[in-house]
Structure 1
Amino acid sequence: MMPRFLECAAIAALAITAAGACLAQDLTYPLVDTMQDRCFDTAGQTIACPAEGQPLSGQDAQYARRAAVYIDNGDGTVTDSVTNLTWQQTPENARLQFSESLTFCQALELGGRSDWRVPTIKELYSLADFRGELLKPEQGTPTPYLDSAVFGFDYPQPPMVFAGQYWSSTLYVKGPVINGQNQGAFGFNFADGHIKAYGTGFDFFTGEASADSGLPTGGNAPGNYVRCVSGTENLYGVNDFQDNGDGTVTDRATGRMWQQADDGTRREWAEALAYCEALDLAGHDDWALPDSKELQSIVDYDKTELPAIDETVFGITKDSETLDFWTSTTFGDIKSHANVIAFGKALSKSADQAEYTDWHGAGAQRSSIKTLTNQELTDEDLCSINACDVDRPDNLVRCIR
């Protein structure tokens, strides 16, 4: 398959001219590859990547995107030359409350820098490496969703090895999370490859410390790790949408073009891949199902109402509380699942809850089962110790080129 997502260097090397299509030097939000390098079937088995036009063609690994380029500065910091962000190489191996993480990064002096801060969720997600997989001990050695050849990372002690959550500074502003009145802040879990909103220990409605948070520590969130970042604030992760007037939207910050409105049809994963591969829209026939980072890039985390997308430029089907959209990225922990981005409520519940709640927050990255055909998965496969997500095989689709 000919890769359709060629970065400027690759286009120049091939002497391809595409006026206005290659402005990487001007991109303020260059997207980093997920690094997923294998193809999978709907049962989760590794397969040879299908040829163009064949079933399951169009997966994440089949498109060349810009790989992360990390520079170890030799002073406890790492610079990503794609995003121009500099990161704390090895974080403190201690959980902090959300407010403590803000204070910690503000006070950090490292690598001759004092302008450290907690990253936004879009900055933090740029580090996600979807070659990761959290294996059970009998299955082998786990791989974090992070380039551990460059960054320091320690799994939490058993039995909580999956709890590798790192804070972002992005608050969930659309409502309380988990249950009750909890304020949430998004984070990414480098152990199990998910975005979700974690309780900050503050009341969503008052902003004060919550005495009725429903969290196990009686008002305080369990706490997450933090990896501080240095770089121009409010630059990376900010969209610049242009309505092209032909059913497409271009994000001039990322250089990606989007299908403006989904077609309202829910599909299983194989059908979603095929739909985008076959789409002919606005004179273009080189559409594809977006990878996880591409789709997450258009989430509107600042909007206070659902859905979590800029409706001044995008159309979106509103047929359910859960508006999960497929990505082409297979979920490393359970490869019968693919990643989804939640533009509506990200529903889940604990074992003692009768009803699902917006546990993870709109803008979360979860995973959905690719198909119900010939699947024999149990609750033990699909639920964590803490929660069971809504897991549906038919999700919405928005294509990219």
Structure 2
Amino acid sequence: MSTKRTVVPPFARYVAWQLLLASPLGCEIVAGIEPRRLAPAAAPESVCTEITGAGFPDSATRFCSDGAFAVSCDDTSLGAGQDGHVLGVLPSYTEASFGEVEDGGVRDEILDLVWESDAAPAPVSWEEARARCEKLGGGARLPSRVELVSLVDYGRDGPAINPSMISVPTSSTDLYWTATTAMDGVWVVGFVDGSMTSLDRTLTARTRCVIGPPRALCFEEGADGETLIDERTGLVWQRVSTPEVSSWQGALAFCASLMLGGASGFRLPSIKELVSLGHGEGEDPTSAATSFLDEEGRFWSSTPVAAAPSEAWLLDGLTGRIDHQSVAVKARVRCVR
């Protein structure tokens, strides 16, 4: 079957994905949906920007584990295929103006976003955070949760970010607001380790604004019918996840041996790659976890925890939360190449 480009606006993702899975001709059905019927009137504008080949910023610091202790990433015989063994697209930042503040920003050359280099001096409520970004002008806004996670360096610990380009407060445990709402609040990212959870919008967190258009979810169905291609990153995803659960080492080995459509070269995705599936979600409560994965259970990533080498990062398939657990824990697998 020839490939068809599928451009799904944020709110339409869940319905479109259900139809995609339900039909043997899913790509035609999704392509035939009238997007504006599924998008709420107040949906933020998003752009399906093809950046295939540019990818999604990887963690700049390599960190590897044998499942118990930190090991050199040069030894690929221990937990082969983990995050530190895969050299992805390294982050690239340059100084830039932020609104009317000269040299007050940092440009992400990969995602073409301009970040506020200094976070707000004090934690505020979500509404106050949104108002602060709008007041800065120049199209400044709160970032989506995926945009904010793009800054995280999961090879570092406390803080899990490069402080030479993006300043962090003395208390690196502070949470940062995103624009993305969750079922029980709003998603926040903690830069002490890169964890992501939800927070009541009346509570307080720090603010880091961003300038740049959000991007819509853009997929092509692979000619083999067994994969989906993310046009923004060029990543080829296993269309249907494995029903079996596995330990972290088992998940790494499974993806390394996977063949789909006669093609090999699959691997377990990094935690940043898993989260990137929701890039461009804006304020839509339908996250990557409920639109693309949309499956009960947690999914392994290839990323071990820098502060706890016997643990690795997972993404919850229903809530969208990311956290870390022992590598012996059983979780589901969706491979990528």
Residue 217 of structure 2 corresponds to residue 252 of structure 1? no
Match of 2:314 in 1: 340
What are the Cα deviations for residues 98-155 of structure 1, in whole angstroms up to 9, with x where unaligned? 000000010115xxxx321111111111111112213xxxxxxxxx111101111113
For residues 259 and 116 of structure 1, do their structure 2 counterparts lie closer, same or farther at Cα, with a shift above 3 Å needed?
Answer: same
Structural mapping, 1:203-282, within 5 Å: 221=203, 223-232=204-213, 234-235=214-215, 238-244=216-222, 245-282=224-261
What is the letter of the counterpart of residue 139 of structure 2? D
Match of 1:397 in 2: 333
Q: Matches of 1:341 and 1:190 in 2, distance apart? A: 17
Point out the structure with the larger helix share: 2
Aligned 8 A contact 1:37 1:61 in 2: yes
From 63, 66, 78, the counterpart of 1:38: 63
Match of 1:62 in 2: 85
Question: 1:239, CA displacement in angstroms?
Answer: 1.9
Match of 2:151 in 1: 127
Q: Matches of 1:77 and 1:149 in 2, distance apart? A: 13
Q: Matches of 1:305 and 1:284 in 2, distance apart? A: 29
Q: Matches of 1:69 and 1:130 in 2, distance apart? A: 16
Q: Give the secondary structure class of the aligned counterpart of 2:232.
A: coil
What are the Cα deviations for residues 45-99 of structure 1, in whole angstroms up to 9, with x where unaligned? 3245443xx4510010111111111002361111111111001111122001000
What are the Cα deviations for residues 194-220 of structure 1, in whole angstroms up to 9, with x where unaligned? 01111112xxxxxxxxxxxxxxxxxxx
Q: Matches of 1:194 and 1:268 in 2, distance apart? A: 20
Residue 167 of structure 2 corresponds to residue 188 of structure 1? no
Aligned 8 A contact 1:299 1:363 in 2: no
Match of 1:382 in 2: none
Structure scoring higher RCO (CA < 8 A, sep ≥ 6) equals 2
Aligned 8 A contact 1:338 1:369 in 2: yes
Question: 1:29, CA displacement in angstroms?
Answer: 7.9
Residue 171 of structure 2 corresponds to residue 166 of structure 1? no
Q: Give the secondary structure class of the aligned counterpart of 2:290.
A: coil
Aligned 8 A contact 2:50 2:231 in 1: no
What are the Cα deviations for residues 275-309 of structure 1, in whole angstroms up to 9, with x where unaligned? 11111111111000000111112249646599613
Q: Give the secondary structure class of the aligned counterpart of 1:118.
A: coil
Q: Matches of 2:243 and 2:155 in 1, distance apart? A: 31
In structure 2, the gaps of 5 or more residues are 1-48, 97-101
Q: Matches of 2:110 and 2:288 in 1, distance apart? A: 31
Aligned 8 A contact 1:36 1:60 in 2: no
Question: What is the aligned-residue RMSD (CA, Å)?
Answer: 2.3
Aligned 8 A contact 2:289 2:320 in 1: no
Point out the structure with the larger strand share: 2
Match of 1:370 in 2: 327
Match of 1:102 in 2: 130
Match of 1:145 in 2: 160
Aligned residues: 280
Match of 1:380 in 2: none
What is the letter of the counterpart of residue 166 of structure 1? Y
Q: Matches of 2:289 and 2:81 in 1, distance apart? A: 27
TM-score computed with the length of structure 2 as normaliser: 0.77
What is the letter of the counterpart of residue 129 of structure 1? D
Q: Matches of 1:64 and 1:100 in 2, distance apart? A: 39
Residue 139 of structure 2 corresponds to residue 115 of structure 1? yes
Q: Give the secondary structure class of the aligned counterpart of 1:147.
A: coil
What is the letter of the counterpart of residue 106 of structure 1? E
From 295, 299, 302, the counterpart of 1:325: 299
What are the Cα deviations for residues 232-258 of structure 1, in whole angstroms up to 9, with x where unaligned? 2x22xx321122243111111221101
Q: Matches of 1:122 and 1:29 in 2, distance apart? A: 16
TM-score computed with the length of structure 1 as normaliser: 0.65
For residues 307 and 341 of structure 1, do their structure 2 counterparts lie closer, same or farther at Cα, with a shift above 3 Å needed?
Answer: closer
For residues 31 and 298 of structure 1, do their structure 2 counterparts lie closer, same or farther at Cα, with a shift above 3 Å needed?
Answer: same
What is the letter of the counterpart of residue 206 of structure 2? Y
What is the letter of the counterpart of residue 58 of structure 2? D
What is the letter of the counterpart of residue 239 of structure 1? L
Q: Matches of 1:85 and 1:167 in 2, distance apart? A: 17
